[in-house]
Amino acid sequence: MKSFLQLWMPLNASTHGDNVDNLIFYVHWLMLVLFVGWGIFFAYTLFRFNRTRNPKADYHGVKNHYSSYLEFAVALIEAVLLIGFSLPFWIQEVASAAAEETAHDIELRVIGQQFAWNIHYPGSDGIFGKTDPNLVDGTSNVLGLDRSDPSAKDDFASVGRLYVPIEKKVLVHVTSYDVIHGFFLPVMRVKQDAIPGTSIPVTFTATSTSPENPTKNSKWEIGCAQLCGNGHYKMQGELIVLAQDAYSTWVDEQVKLALEEGEAW
């Protein structure tokens, strides 16, 4: 089943991707079992209640209460599964996710905007400078950075191109400038709604570098997974996973450019 489904699935290049994929495979197995089971039951009823065996309809039906007992048993088992297993597991997962949120190597902000992905890098100080939606300018200041804030001086933006290093845990704060978008990295098995006014953390760790000169098909895509307007279809970006030293070099270059640009402000 796994290798069969993988024919249609995007490459997985993240550490947690296998868990997501396994869930998809288990759900498919379960659906296959249910499909075959109900199919057999359907065929059985067609045979069991056919016209030659039952020439006259039975207007009274079943008299005993077995079906009620059965339904009660099913409800009870489901309640035990939900209260006894699912809820404790969910609470534990939420707690560990909250603890995980603080542990990371790289921290970024991703801001969805009709129709592009703006990525905010905190620069060499690792601190995000103040931003203000009123300062947003489509060409010179896509992030709305407040340049009077000292920690904003080395911040820089990357539009539509998300650069991350390999084997480093990346924490992304996902938000939106205008409407609801869906931040989607298929190869990282990351999908998170970008909602105006809220900042939602997601983490991932890349296990391999992206293709060096990608074609249209081999490019690692950033997609928008929420219908967000007329230009939704073209709200694409590219995920570029670099070796760690190549990433540091790139960040240094961008910081240098930002500082030079900042002097002109």
Q: Rule CB under 5 A: is residue 224 a binding residue for Cu ion?
A: yes
- The nearest distance, CB 15 to Cu ion, in angstroms, is 27
Nearer to Cu ion, 177 or 247 (CB): 177
| 222 vs 258 by CB, closer to Cu ion | 222
CB of 240 to Cu ion, least distance (A): 20
Residue 194 or residue 206: which is nearer to Cu ion going by CB? 194
Number of residues that bind Cu ion (CB under 5 A): 4
Q: Residue 113 Cβ, how far from Cu ion at the closest point, in Å?
A: 8
Q: Could you say which of 171, 235, 255, 258 contacts Cu ion (CB under 5 A)?
A: 235
Toward Cu ion, which CB reaches closer, 196 or 262? 196
CB 239, min distance to Cu ion, A: 16
Of residues 173 and 181, the one with the C-beta less far from Cu ion:
181
Q: Which is nearer to Cu ion, 115 or 247 (CB)?
A: 115
Rounded Cα distance between 14 and 219, Å, is: 16
Q: Is 222 in the site for Cu ion (CB under 5 A)?
A: no
Separation CA 154–CA 263 (nearest Å): 11
Q: Given the complex with Cu ion, which of 163 and 184 has the nearer CB atom?
A: 184
Considering only 74-82, 140-148, 235-243, 252-260, which stretch makes contact with Cu ion by CB under 5 A? 235-243
Stretch that binds Cu ion, among 5-13, 144-152, 203-211, 234-242 (CB under 5 A): 234-242
What phi, psi does 11 have (nearest 5°)? Answer: -55, 145
Pairwise CA distance, residues 97 & 21, whole Å: 19
Q: Closest by alpha carbon to 120, among 149, 144, 150?
A: 144
The window from 36-44, 45-53, 58-66, 216-224 that contacts Cu ion (CB under 5 A) reads 216-224
Pick the piece of the chain touching Cu ion (CB under 5 A) from 27-35, 165-173, 196-204, 222-230: 222-230
CB of 232 to Cu ion, least distance (A): 5
DSSP per residue over the chain, as a string? -HHHHHTTSPP--BSSHHHHHHHHHHHHHHHHHHHHHHHHHHHHHHHHT-TTT-SS--SS---SSHHHHHHHHHHHHHHIIIIIIIHHHHHHHHHHHHHHHH--SEEEEEEEETTEEEEEE-TTTT-PPPB-GGG-BTTTBTT-B-TTSGGGTT-EEEESEEEEETTSEEEEEEEESSS-EEEEEGGGTEEEEE-BT--EEEEEEBSSPPPSS--TTTS-EEEE-S--STTGGG--EEEEEE-HHHHHHHHHHHHHHHHHHHHT-
* Positions in 145-204 near Cu ion (CB under 5 A): 181
Please tell me whether residue 228 binds Cu ion under the rule CB under 5 A: yes
Q: Residues in the site for Cu ion, rule: CB under 5 A? A: 181, 224, 228, 235
